[in-house]
Structure 1
Amino acid sequence: MTVNDVLTVHGGTPLHGQIRVRGAKNLVSKAMVAALLGDAPSRLYDVPRIRDVEVVRGLLELHGVKVSDGAEDGELVFDPANVESASTDEINVHAGSSRIPILFCGPLLHRLGHAFIPDLGGCHIGPRPIDFHIQALREFGAVVDKAPDGMHLTAPNGLHGTKLELPFPSVGATEQVLLTAVMAEGVTELRNAAVEPEIVDLICVLQKMGAIIKVHTDRVIEIQGVPRLSGYSHRPIPDRIEAASWAAAALATGGDIEVIGAEQVDMMTFLNVFRSVGGAYEVIDARPAAGQEGKIRFWHPGGELRAVAIETDVHPGFMTDWQQPLVVALTQARGLSIVHETVYEQRLGYTEALNTMGATIQVYRDCLGGTPCRFGRRNFKHSAVIAGPSKLHAADLVIPDLRAGFSHLIAALAAEGTSRVYGVDLINRGYEDFEAKLAALGAHAERS
């Protein structure tokens, strides 16, 4: 954190205006990795200018992929003609900055026969073990040697299809299997796979490259390995997490925000909860013939917000990345709201900061809900009860992770007085030009 990594926020002003979301962060970075598998250039459109994209671009370039800006704003072109090994020292420059490097394993093993993965970073929201990633790669035929600086992988006999079942529908593990299986010899069957919209969009990318992937019912994905893949041209689905974050900001501040690019189909679960709380929205479908994008307008219609009970879950459930921004709005709802976090065990730590601002939030180790939970008996505080409405007041806040950071920012915008938010550069990992968007919405905020 630097002295310039501080945002001074003058709260109490409703946000009004229009902003645009680009391609989903959770798809764009994976599609960039997929370009490694092709024997021809790939084009990816609507790429957001965020830190995670910079990290993946740097890693691709280290491995000989030529990455260039296309003619269209937000377009990237990847030429994988000269994929090569990178030194461990160069790769380690990125150690701790992102968890994406683990997904380079399969593509690099296919292209080079070996791979090196540094220590992994990412948001501190609870351990996200890579054990299954490693076990899956071994099932495909990889040899994994752990070293102090990371992991060295080889595939002396190539990679071969296999049968796998996830203990939990992990997005990262599903991505790992997809990126490895598409060029592994034979058929791979993955059971209990994640089926998030970003996973389906990644499958679309791989299918454009020549992959043969069948998505069956009951979370079963079958991949027929092919000997070669070409490039792709793809416009990703919009970022449903960012869209929901701005929707929560509109609700918490009593504002009215139109989110260009937001799509109803992948936000249906969020929209149901948003309406149940008392928020209002209008879906405006795209009109391609007139050159108009789709959008969703979110606003606070006046009156009191209503308490709700939320349980996060894998898709099509309520997304874990949606709960943190929405909880800020729930501090303004009358009654007791309940949040049962079933995906990440340490994702409620941000509520301490909200309590210092005047919120009344209690966290519990018990499962306050009926959704199957991964860690309810492992002594993690993963359920919260929010009593409201609470009048929020300004405070000094330190951002712990990406999504919590945006919730802190929303709280500062909703609170009376002037807050200082430290560590705001972390928000750049997933929210493009968020300071410019705040200005466009009439927020009073500036770098200290």
Structure 2
Amino acid sequence: MSTTSDFALRAGQYVGLAADRITFRGGQPLNGHVEVRGAKNLVTKAMVAALLGESPSLLRQVPDISDVNVVRGLLEIHGVKIERDNESGDLHLDPSNVERAHMAEINAHAGSSRIPILFCGPLLHRLGEAFIPDLGGCRIGDRPIDFHLEVLRNFGADVQKLPDGIRMHAPRGLVGAKITLPYPSVGATEQVLLTAVRANGRTELRNAAIEPEIMDLINILQKMGAIISVDADRVIRIEGVDRLVGFRHRSLFDRNEAASWASAALVTKGDIFVGGASQPEMLTFLNVFRKAGGAFDIHDDGIRFWHPGGELSPVVIETDVHPGFMTDWQQPLVVALTQAEGVSIVHETVYEQRFGFTDALNQMGANIQLHRECLGGQYCRFGQRNFLHSAVISGPTKLHAADIEVPDLRGGFSHLIAALAADGESVVSNVGIISRGYENFISKLQQLGADFTVED
């Protein structure tokens, strides 16, 4: 087994390039201990929230992933001074000298990230204007920014679409608004929160997302001086305040990464202790994991996941917004379900094109059929729209080696664990994309006993 010590850095710099390749020699269980730090879906938004404060902030347990580096670059070109303790993951953010950034600089630093849209509210409060470039992100379905733009218009922003991006002005400041989302979008909910806390007056948001990462962002904003209440019926109310201060906060653990390592233990017939994971945020995943035949043990400092032996069981899953089964959990788990005895069904209701990663699994010997029909009992936005958004997985099927190109973040991790479970040598390319959300995944695989070689 071999790797290169600077691979994580190179992957962060060259996300999406096919030159990043790993050769895996599969068939060995993954055993050992890995640590997960702050959630990608929280820490990047918390960094943006620091823009709203009049004093420095401290964010703890920040993972070293490329999405964090993108947001750091965007903050720094806007004048935020940032220092990082690499060992602890502590991030110090000082927004005392926020300033306008040049359009070319924003374009250069944004890369494929979709985070820049969330800069708009804070920058409108601080500078009276904001600019965002065309947005990227994983190609797993339609992620329109219309929700975001309409939200900002409701607060009083003047939004202008330009050939190279979108410019916004708020010369008279922003005012509270009454907003109802057509779908409980996480990104749109974050947009409302980051904009409403400094807006003049009250804001009411209906049909809001209530994911744990959203609640942790609310915790951060409350520490900064915001006044926010959350009702059980997905209604969030915010009273705007004149000023906010910095925060000190330990970020919520990354439950997506934790679930990915759990699936890796299951598909390779291994035993992995995920340090930093906790039960409440993973309740729904743990139920499905147990139904599929996996075993777990809850500890104060993490969760142990393992394959207890015997046959895995088929399950029926419908992804949904919280507290449902997360869409980011299904891709790694689908790999494990290829080894279950019988037929599993996964109905994807969040992203309409999230099953593209199954092509590679079928190439490796899996039996996965995709359907346009809604193979589930709950309401689905994608019904009768010709999207292949339901999967039928028949198993068990023996996986064999293949050459694979990573399509997106979660699908990419799924390909890695499929290659580790397959017989023979698999070559996985475009692996840099995985560094968007998995900190030091190469060294973690090494810790777990994976057999692989990194190629330039």
How far apart, CA to CA, are the structure 2 residues paired with 1:36 and 1:374?
35
Corresponding residue to 2:395 among 388, 396, 399? 388
- What corresponds to 2:226 in structure 1? 211
Q: Which amino acid aligns with 1:57?
A: R
Q: Which amino acid aligns with 1:393?
A: H
How far apart, CA to CA, are the structure 2 residues paired with 1:196 and 1:274?
20
Q: How does 1:344-383 map to 2 (within 5 A)?
A: 344-383=351-390
Corresponding residue to 2:270 among 214, 237, 255? 255
How far apart, CA to CA, are the structure 1 residues paired with 2:383 and 2:415?
26
Residues 152-204 of structure 1, C-alpha deviations (whole Å, 9 max, x = no match): 00002110001000000000000000000000000000000000000000000
Residues 195-254 of structure 1, C-alpha deviations (whole Å, 9 max, x = no match): 000000000000000000000120000000000000000001100000000000000000
- What corresponds to 1:237 in structure 2? 252
- What corresponds to 1:320 in structure 2? 327
Q: Which amino acid aligns with 1:303?
A: G
Residues 126-145 of structure 1, C-alpha deviations (whole Å, 9 max, x = no match): 11000010001000000001
How far apart, CA to CA, are the structure 2 residues paired with 1:167 and 1:374?
11
- What corresponds to 2:57 in structure 1? 42
Residues 274-294 of structure 1, C-alpha deviations (whole Å, 9 max, x = no match): 000000000002xxxxxxxx1
How far apart, CA to CA, are the structure 1 residues paired with 2:247 and 2:120?
20
Q: Is contact 2:70–2:111 with CA below 8 Å preserved after alignment?
A: no
What is the SS of the residue equivalent to 2:223?
A: helix
Q: How big is the shift at 1:71?
A: 8.4
Corresponding residue to 1:403 among 407, 410, 424? 410
Moved over 6 A (4+): none
How far apart, CA to CA, are the structure 2 residues paired with 1:256 and 1:402?
23
Residues 12-53 of structure 1, C-alpha deviations (whole Å, 9 max, x = no match): 000000000000110000000000000000000100000000
Q: How big is the shift at 1:95?
A: 4.0
- Are 1:180 and 2:212 an aligned pair? no
Where does structure 1 lack aligned partners over 5 or more consecutive residues?
286-293
- Are 1:276 and 2:283 an aligned pair? no
What is the SS of the residue equivalent to 2:109?
A: coil
Cα 1:185–1:3 shift into 2, 3 Å: closer
How far apart, CA to CA, are the structure 1 residues paired with 2:179 and 2:385?
26
Q: How big is the shift at 1:445?
A: 1.2
- TM-score, L = length of structure 1: 0.97
- What corresponds to 1:105 in structure 2? 120
Q: Which amino acid aligns with 2:230?
A: V
What is the SS of the residue equivalent to 1:243?
A: helix
Q: Which amino acid aligns with 1:333?
A: A
- Are 1:164 and 2:188 an aligned pair? no
How far apart, CA to CA, are the structure 1 residues paired with 2:384 and 2:192?
29
Residues 269-327 of structure 1, C-alpha deviations (whole Å, 9 max, x = no match): 00000000000000002xxxxxxxx1100000000000000000000000000000000
How far apart, CA to CA, are the structure 2 residues paired with 1:113 and 1:122?
27
Q: Is contact 1:4–1:447 with CA below 8 Å preserved after alignment?
A: no
- What corresponds to 1:308 in structure 2? 315
Q: Is contact 2:18–2:430 with CA below 8 Å preserved after alignment?
A: no
Q: Is contact 1:23–1:47 with CA below 8 Å preserved after alignment?
A: yes
Quote the sequence identity (%).
69
Cα 1:85–1:313 shift into 2, 3 Å: same
Q: How big is the shift at 1:94?
A: 2.9
Corresponding residue to 1:198 among 213, 222, 246? 213
- What corresponds to 2:337 in structure 1? 330
- What corresponds to 1:144 in structure 2? 159
Q: Is contact 1:335–1:387 with CA below 8 Å preserved after alignment?
A: yes
How far apart, CA to CA, are the structure 1 residues paired with 2:284 and 2:109?
35
Q: How big is the shift at 1:72?
A: 5.9
**Paired residue total:** 440
How far apart, CA to CA, are the structure 1 residues paired with 2:75 and 2:110?
14
Cα 1:249–1:32 shift into 2, 3 Å: same
How far apart, CA to CA, are the structure 1 residues paired with 2:412 and 2:139?
12
Where does structure 2 lack aligned partners over 5 or more consecutive residues?
1-15
Q: How big is the shift at 1:70?
A: 4.2
What is the SS of the residue equivalent to 1:94?
A: helix
